[in-house]
Homo-oligomer: A and B are copies of this chain.
């Protein structure tokens, strides 16, 4: 199994991701994605859009990152969105107090603990600055909102710490202009910013990051009315209940009947979400919805499940799933003095409740890379699902100095230009295969002397290294079956 270091080595070597403003030794907590990384990341988003957003009939909006202070006063972020920090009295560097304590003691210190408890623990365990061994200050709270200075506007403006605030503030407009009917999911993918005190683990904890979030608005009285319930009722969701040390597979029916979830709607979306991650290539034994206990849940959440996948660095949280009730709409209705109720045709009004599926895109990308990374015959192979591969195929003229082979290779490229293909004529075929295997390209198409004579090419499969010779006139159809229909190489 690949380790965290394996992933980072590959990422830096082939520029999947790397520190932003690297040549200027940029600030920590910001990452850029190179051509392969940006492509896989985009495909992670596209599969989400296809399987979770469009298939479920959700609306997808795209809002500004910068929002005025009023939004975050109403949402509670201005007062509640704080990290417990301690500053080194010697070198001046800030640290997360709870993280230092976790590392030192192995015990489970939480960011929500109050300043005095954390300060006392720092003293008791004799925690010093990890950088310079200097003495640490008392713990205080630091707000995680990132403020922006926008010239001449009189308003205080912040970069949103979660994309969902756009969804809540736009909800009443969606009611008025989109003929919205409950239940209705509204989704958004985009940037969020958090003032992380100690960004670390590359793309796993950054200041600037991407989220793909959905808020499903529903009538809490109708939480058990789910149109496509029959699609999931026997589907088993991997859950780890509070107090249990094992993951169990429980059907949606049982989640509902045993009242493990607040209603069918929640079981339904747990299932849909898990199915997305199965499509990302994760096996059921490596995923879990971890039920949150009262202490871990945000105070407004009636029910919460962290979706996690097993990685080389332990279970990694990729999604926060929360039953936020009417907390957000209620606060924004009050803060903005707007009516955010949904009105039924008979005039009955209801302030919708919300089920949130808040996915970290960068973390999902990391997990996808680690889950796909393997070695075959001592060579690195990134076995990405075809739908997430950065390119569909590479096109290799066997040699670059024979005009008729080059010409045929260009003809092949033209034939399948509808797909994402890459033309490469430099180095031995073995080296070219290895370069493509390493970045996850599923198929390599080679044009050789025989191709010129009989109009055939060979297709090589990344995962088996098996090769097939096919007629050029069938190539488009075969590629279509492999890439879009999802057929296996052995089946075409």
Pair B32/A60 contact, Cβ less than 8 Å: no
Residue of B33, B65, B67, B166 touching A191 (CB-CB under 8 A): B65
Number of copies: 2
Pair A150/B29 contact, Cβ less than 8 Å: yes
Pair A153/B27 contact, Cβ less than 8 Å: yes
Pair A28/B153 contact, Cβ less than 8 Å: yes
- The CA of A336 and the CA of B21, in the complex, are separated in Å by 10
Q: Give the chain B neighbours of A254 by CB distance below 8 A.
A: none
Pair A63/B27 contact, Cβ less than 8 Å: no
Instruction: Tell whether A466 is near chain B: CB-to-CB under 8 Å.
Output: no
- The CA of A397 and the CA of B93, in the complex, are separated in Å by 64
CB within 8 Å for A55 and B417 given contacts A20-B67, A24-B335, A71-B21: yes
From DSSP, what is the main secondary structure of chain A's interface residues? mixed
Instruction: Tell whether A201 is near chain B: CB-to-CB under 8 Å.
Output: no
- The CA of A332 and the CA of B23, in the complex, are separated in Å by 9
Closest to A32 in B: B63
Residue of B13, B24, B37 touching A68 (CB-CB under 8 A): B24
- The CA of A426 and the CA of B153, in the complex, are separated in Å by 44
Instruction: Tell whether A178 is near chain B: CB-to-CB under 8 Å.
Output: yes
* Segment with Cβ contacts to B, from A101-109, A113-121, A140-148, A350-358: A140-148
Q: Which of A209-239 contact B (CB under 8 A)?
A: none
Instruction: Tell whether A59 is near chain B: CB-to-CB under 8 Å.
Output: yes
Binary interface profile of A, 6-42, with partner B (CB < 8 Å = 1, else 0)? 0000001111001011111011111111110111011
Instruction: Tell whether A129 is near chain B: CB-to-CB under 8 Å.
Output: no
- The CA of A38 and the CA of B187, in the complex, are separated in Å by 11
Q: Give the chain B neighbours of A152 by CB distance below 8 A.
A: 85, 93-94, 142, 197
Tell me the count of chain A residues lying within 8 A, CB to CB, of chain B: 81
Closest to A420 in B: B54
CB within 8 Å for A178 and B34 given contacts A23-B169, A24-B68: yes
- The CA of A315 and the CA of B302, in the complex, are separated in Å by 54
Instruction: Tell whether A57 is near chain B: CB-to-CB under 8 Å.
Output: yes
Pair A20/B148 contact, Cβ less than 8 Å: no
Residue of B27, B29, B32, B193 touching A166 (CB-CB under 8 A): B32
Pair A32/B157 contact, Cβ less than 8 Å: no
Instruction: Tell whether A138 is near chain B: CB-to-CB under 8 Å.
Output: no
Closest to A15 in B: B177
Instruction: Tell whether A319 is near chain B: CB-to-CB under 8 Å.
Output: no
- The CA of A148 and the CA of B33, in the complex, are separated in Å by 21
CB within 8 Å for A159 and B148 given contacts A24-B336, A32-B63, A32-B170: yes
Instruction: Tell whether A70 is near chain B: CB-to-CB under 8 Å.
Output: yes
Pair B33/A68 contact, Cβ less than 8 Å: no
Instruction: Tell whether A312 is near chain B: CB-to-CB under 8 Å.
Output: no
Could you list 6 A-B pairs, sorted by A, with CB under 8 Å?
A20-B63, A21-B64, A21-B169, A29-B153, A35-B60, A94-B151
